[in-house]
Structure 1
Amino acid sequence: MTSHVSRRGILAAGAAAGVATGAGAVAGGASVARAAAVDTPAGSGAATGRSGPAGQDGRSGQGGHGVALTHVTVIDPHTARVRHDMTVLVRGDRIEAVHASGEGRVPAGVRAVDLRGRYVIPGLSDMHVHSVMDRIDPALHVANGVTTVREMAGGDQVFDWRRRIEAGELLGPRWTISSRLVDGAPSIWDPAVLDIVEVADAAGARRAVREEIRRGADFVKVYSRLPREALTAIADETRRLGVPFAGHCPDEVSLLEAARLGQRSFEHLFWTFFATSSKEAWARREIARIRLAQGDYSGWFERIHPVEWIAARTYDPDRAGTVFDRLASHGTRQVPTLIMHRGLDLARTLDRDDPRRRYLPAASRSGMDYALDELYLKQRSVAEDAEWAALFEYRLRLVSAMNRAGVPLMVGTDVATPGVFPGFAVHDELRLLVDAGLTPMAALHAATAEPARYLGTRSGRVAPGHTADLVVLGANPLDDIRNTRRIDGVVVRGRHLGPADLTELLRGVEEAAAEPRPTPAGAARPPCPCHAPTRAAAV
């Protein structure tokens, strides 16, 4: 199989594709919530049907008195418990109590929302995003019940969004933000496209870590072409400063070596195939022969893909068992990003008439089509599609094997790649995890409790003392994981958004997407995912 795929074009086109989706947090852009919950202040018979103003600001609509979600079925993936006819009492941004609805009255002044027939799960997480627009991404995450995200290429704009969200000026999820990409020199990213940090040795790697932490990064994002000595130095410096590192597994380093150094998570599945192949030694020799110029991600992809294909076909269960045991013992997370891999491996099946496309600006639609036609499919014959489809099946089996072996998995989507829409993609990833063999409860765990454990936050649970980030569903996700799309309400930072609020929120996204934008020269090619070309930081 041959493919000339530019990562720059993939991410840029996909970022554009993710810019403006939203006509409801269900597949195909249908209404966010067909059934409105009854929303009644305690001690009053008046049903308001909504929780207050819901624009894209982050101001609370609770009036400071709290909200009680009553007569609801609570699903807590942390414990795998399901409890029926429960009340979840929220005050401020915390869950104050979870008890049987018949055990007591809703406190005076607390607004009661009768949710008979509904289900409450913890707010969902997307642990791999690349964000684009403040009027698009945060709102789409919230509308889809995604209340925690991990930004994987931290730029100044996202730090500003987080500040505004925490100040109540912008409605959005809780945001963990990486450093800029820290890659080798030369990087396979074009520094005219993305703000990156290139390092050539251990000293430069240590300086990069210190600078990125000074800029406010919560962790260091490592990339594909880092030299071994640089990754070793990053591991030592981050450990000394008390911050984690995560990202790609560099070409010069095996998966297990990176895990031993302390890498907290591996994104995507390329390197996992290498580590679990009976031909790993051959694969590592082939990878070591790769020589690339700055900005040649297309060249990296072209050279790495045949190696990955052979590695996938030579999967060794015994070798894999050893690898998985060690990952599990180190607590190293795998973020499969199956929805990203599906878009690449099954590119010809991406729906060009997806109803959500009508929420994309024209330039973004063009960018998505450009990526599919010129980057994914131009050098791929129809005859090769079966092999690409087989590769995706190998990915599903790999994820299944990791799950059975106890490797901790986290939901991440790689928002900013074609067909991967902010917020919506989490539901796509959940379904793919179930397709890979996870139970619906295990898939929910990967989107809630496991990210919370990884981040060290009191989130990801429906339990007293935990953050009041919740999703109200109109049907049981344990019966069918696709029911996570049937969103009847969201609680984010203690603020309850009912069906009318979510509809209004998404209407704002649609309006933002429809606003005219100047068309840059050469607009047939997708724009930069970070909006503005910036120079790489030489370290």
Structure 2
Amino acid sequence: MSIVEPSRRTFLSWLSKSGLVLAAAGTTVVGRTAEADQQDVLVFTNATLIDGTGTGPQPGTTIVVAGKRIIAVGRHGIAPPAGVRVVDLRGKYVLPGLWDMHTHTMDLEQLLLPLYIANGVTSVREMWGTAYVRQVHQRIASGQVLGPRMVVASNVVDGPHSMLVNLWGKVSPEQVRTKDEAKAAVRKAKRDGADFVKVYSHLDDDTLSAIADEARRLRLPIAGHVPDKLSVVRGSDLGMRTQEHLYALYVDVSSARDEIRTIIQNTPVDPNDPFGYFFAMRALERQAIKSYDPGRAAEVFAALARNRTALTPTLVVLKLFTFPPELVRKPELEKYVPKWVVEQRWALQSVPPDQQEANRAFYEASVRLVRDAAEAGVTMVAGTDGGFLAPYILAGFCLHDELELMVRIGFSPMQAIQSATRDAARTVGLGHVSGTVSPGKFADLLVVDGNPLADIRNTQRIHAVVANGRLIDRAERERMLAKVEEDAKRIPPPPTALRAAPCCGPSALRY
């Protein structure tokens, strides 16, 4: 409830005497409440806090939210005054709202946005900044619709013969052939309001270098695919903030690196079959990882760590590529998806038995690569390709799948949580306002019924979500999910061209 004049003074008096850690000057509730009589205040009490910093569980914690910010955290010695909304979280665990660092809200935001929020994914990094995505971002930021905070990429910047041309209806990337074209694409990204420049697979050294130079001048980060013809160290040295899907890394940690790099440099792109080139590169990576060289890998990891280049391994996508469909599909979630998505975009073919063994070996080699990189100090951030783009990688739900996979392959639950909280926020330059439960930060929280440090699957036992200061309790969350289910039944399929574009068979696309 809003605090009227008398109770506001009482509340401020309680806050000053409570023993809670307050926000720093400039973000403190005193100034903010003095300016806004109608500002909502929530006091969460008796929570066990897992704040994202790496500190262990903190029982008996109070968290005070005013409007869109956390203004106080800690233990209070006296009860909050009457007139303030108090939410008792005894027996519950509070985490920072989660980040998904690789998403594609390319359509159907009326389904995707509530699925993010209902799953405690309160922030996302959108990896293809189309006009549609920018419009969705603006509606969320203006409060017209409820959705996650968005860090939005530029339009994808790729080289000639990109496989993304008209992939999503009439949406196509910026294709650059020269340094001047590359710099112009960065300037366009700046004019469009992009938060970073998304780079892609067909760039060469000249064009990526030009992008990096212009992006540095305009103070725009760059992130995305390491171009196939470049090494991950070269991409990192040029300033890539994150590198997605482990692309190129497989080759660079191989004892056969030089031979495979020669093959890549000499492999042309068929303008009539750009997908053929894409999958040829992925086949070379599968061969490369068979000759994994720990010494060479250590040199690569040291460079990534030195440059503070993070990896987004997208383990859920790796699982999609390598596991039999029956181990990927989640029929219980299909109620949140239009039937035509399941039938046309999510029609996975079975994997022949002889391929399953090779797939399993590639998966195990890939997760060893991720573990080794993390142990060497390379930052990992949780991302999923979430949306409807890839089969069964459904917005919101898939982030929890990613965390579970991280723990299964050897990360601690705390490391997995930090990959989607503190480390994610830091990677996009928002660590000062997001990623941990601290005074002065955005009021984005996930409240769960069990301790995720004991079992990471407890992040899925959601009791409530706080998104931008708005409390979504269990009942409202259930209403949100029920509405998504009903809306999914009524949404007709798009035009045939758009419907067929993101074909997802056993060679499903990764963005």
- TM-score normalised by the shorter chain: which range applies? 0.7 to 0.9
Letter of the 1:145 counterpart: G
Cα gap change, 1:295/1:95 in structure 2, threshold over 3 Å: closer, same or farther?
farther
Cα displacement (A) at 1:382: 2.1
Do 1:396 and 1:435's aligned partners in 2 also have CA atoms closer than 8 Å?
A: no
- Partner residue of 1:517 out of 471, 492, 506: 492
Q: What displacement does 1:498 show? A: 0.4
Cα distance in 1, alignment partners of residues 325 and 446 from structure 2? 33
Aligned to 2:104: 130
**Which residue matches 1:414?**
385
Q: Which runs of 5+ in 2 are unaligned?
A: 1-6, 11-36, 504-511
1:299 Cα shift? 0.3
Distance 1:216 1:498 in 2: 34
Once the two structures are TM-superposed, the CA of residue 188 in structure 1 deviates from its matched residue by 2.4
Matched AA of 1:222:
V
Q: How far does residue 195 in structure 1 lie from its aligned partner after superposition?
A: 2.0
Identify the residue that residue 261 of structure 1 maps to in structure 2. Answer: 238
Which residue of structure 2 lines up, in the alignment, with residue 158 of structure 1?
Answer: 133
- The residue aligned with 1:307 is 284
- Contact between 1:70 and 1:86, CA under 8 Å: does it hold in 2? yes
Say whether residues 1:171 and 2:142 are aligned partners: no
Question: CA 1:286 to 1:397, structure 2 compared with 1: closer, same or farther past 3 Å?
Answer: same
Say whether the 8 Å CA contact 1:189–1:296 is kept in structure 2: no
Aligned counterparts of 1:323 and 1:349: Cα–Cα separation in 2: 36
Indicate the percent of aligned positions where both proteins have the same amino acid.
39
**Does 2:174 align with 1:197?**
yes
Residue of structure 2 equivalent to 1:282: 259
Cα distance in 2 for residues equivalent to 1:295 and 1:120: 52
Partner of 1:17: none
What residue identity is the alignment partner of 2:101? Answer: M
Contact persistence 2:167–2:502 (CA under 8 A): no
The aligned amino acid for 2:116 is H
Alignment partner, residue 391 of structure 1:
362
* Residues 63, 81 of structure 1: alpha-carbon distance in 2 compared, 3 angstrom cutoff: farther
Q: Structure 1 residue 441 and structure 2 residue 418: aligned?
A: no
Matched, 1:381 2:352: yes
Is residue 2:89 matched to residue 1:115?
Answer: yes
Q: Give a deviation string over 1:234-263, Cα, whole Å, max 9, x none.
A: 000000000101000011211101111111
Amino acid in the other structure paired with 2:89: L
Q: Is 1:450 aligned with 2:450?
A: no
Asked if the contact 2:164/2:172 (under 8 Å) is kept, the reply is: no
Aligned AA for 1:141? Y
Residue in 2 aligned with 1:141?
A: 116
Question: Post-superposition shift, 1:341?
Answer: 1.1
Q: Is the deviation greater in 132-141 or in 301-310?
A: 301-310
Is the aligned partner of 1:223 residue 2:200?
yes
The code of the aligned residue for 2:326 comes to T
Distance in 2 of aligned mates of 1:479 and 1:124: 18
Query: Which residue matches 1:535?
Result: none
Q: How many residues align?
A: 463
Q: CA deviation at 1:459?
A: 0.6
Corresponding position: 1:484 with 2:459: yes
For residue 79 of structure 1, report the CA deviation from its aligned partner: 3.5
Aligned counterpart, 1:90: 65
Any idea what the Cα deviations from partners look like across 1:430-480, whole Å, max 9, x if unmatched? 011111211000110100001111122211111111111000010000000
Instruction: Specify the alignment match of 2:341 in structure 1.
Output: 364
Report the equivalent of 2:298: 321
- Report deviation, 1:502: 0.5
Whether contact under 8 Å (2:464, 2:477) holds in the other structure is: yes
How far apart, CA to CA, are the structure 1 residues paired with 2:450 and 2:501? 39
The one-letter code sitting in structure 1 at the alignment partner of 2:405 is L
Deviation per residue, 1:342-361 (Å, 9 max, x gap): 10111433455611112221
Secondary structure of 2:153's aligned partner: strand
Bigger Cα displacement from structure 2, 129-138 vs 484-493: 129-138
Residue 290 of structure 1 deviates from its aligned partner by 2.1
Please tell me the residue identity of whatever aligns with 1:361: P
What is the deviation of 1:313? 1.1
Q: Distance in 1 between matches of 2:93 and 2:127?
A: 31
Deviation of 1:369 after TM superposition, in Å, equals 4.0
Cα 1:349–1:68 shift into 2, 3 Å: same
Distance in 2, matches of 1:186 and 1:114, equals: 57
Does the 8 Å CA contact 1:187/1:295 hold for their aligned counterparts?
Answer: no
Change over 3 Å in CA distance of 1:280–1:330 after alignment to 2: same
| Alignment CA distance shift 1:280-1:174 (3 Å) | same
1:337 shift after superposition? 0.3
Q: Which residue of 2 aligns with 1:50?
A: none
Deviation at 1:163, TM superposition (A): 1.4
Instruction: Give the one of 316, 333, 338 matched to 2:310.
Output: 333
Q: Does the 8 A contact of 1:139 with 1:505 survive in 2?
A: yes
Q: SS in structure 2 opposite 1:81? A: coil
Unaligned runs of 5+ in 1: 1-40, 44-61, 530-539
Q: 1:269 to 1:295 in 2, by over 3 A?
A: farther
Structure 2 distance, partners of 1:488, 1:257, is 45
Matched, 1:343 2:330: no
**Normalised by the size of structure 1, how large is the TM-score?**
0.82
**Cα drift, residue 189 of structure 1:** 2.1
The alpha carbon displacement at 1:157 in A equals 1.6
Number of the residue aligned with 1:423? 396
Determine the C-alpha separation between the residues in 2 that align with 1:224 and 1:518. 30
2:373 alignment partner AA? M
3-state SS, counterpart of residue 154 of structure 2: strand
**CA–CA distance in structure 2, aligned partners of residues 424 and 314 of structure 1:** 35
Counterpart of 1:166, as a letter, is A
1:187 equivalent in alignment to 2:162 = yes
Deviation of the 1:76 alpha carbon = 1.7
**In the aligned structure 1, how far is the partner of 2:329 from the partner of 2:59?**
41
Task: Please give the secondary structure, in 1, of the residue aligned with 2:255.
Answer: coil
**Letter of the structure 2 residue corresponding to residue 286 of structure 1:** I
Secondary structure class of the residue paired with 2:46: strand
**CA separation in 2, counterparts of 1:170 and 1:353?**
28
Q: Which amino acid aligns with 1:72?
A: A
Kindly provide the amino acid, as one letter, of the partner of residue 194 in structure 2: A
| CA distance in 2: counterparts of 1:308 and 1:212, whole angstroms | 31
Aligned position for 1:25: none
- Give the letter aligned to residue 309 of structure 1: R
Is 1:243 paired with 2:249? no
Task: Answer yes or no: is 1:495 the counterpart of 2:470.
Answer: yes
**Are 1:71 and 2:46 matched, yes or no?**
yes
Distance 1:295 1:444, change over 3 A: farther
- Matching residue's letter, 1:154: G
Distance, in Å, in 2 between the alignment partners of 1:98 and 1:148 is 21
Is residue 47–residue 61 contact of structure 2 (8 Å, CA) maintained in 1?
Answer: yes
Q: Secondary structure at the match of 1:270?
A: coil
State the AA in 2 paired with 1:209.
V
Residues 306-362 of structure 1: CA deviation (Å, up to 9, x unaligned): 311121111111111111111111000100001011101114334556111122212
Counterparts of 2:353 and 2:65, CA distance in 1: 54
Q: Give secondary structure in 1 for the equivalent of 2:72.
A: strand
Conserved? CA contact 1:489–1:496, under 8 Å: yes
Give the deviation of 1:298 after TM superposition: 2.6
Relative to 1, partners in 2 of residues 1:352 and 1:399: Cα closer, same or farther, differing over 3 Å? closer
The CA deviation string for residues 112-164 of structure 1, in whole angstroms up to 9 with x for no partner, is 11111000000000000011222011111100000110000011122111211
Aligned CA-pair RMSD: 2.1
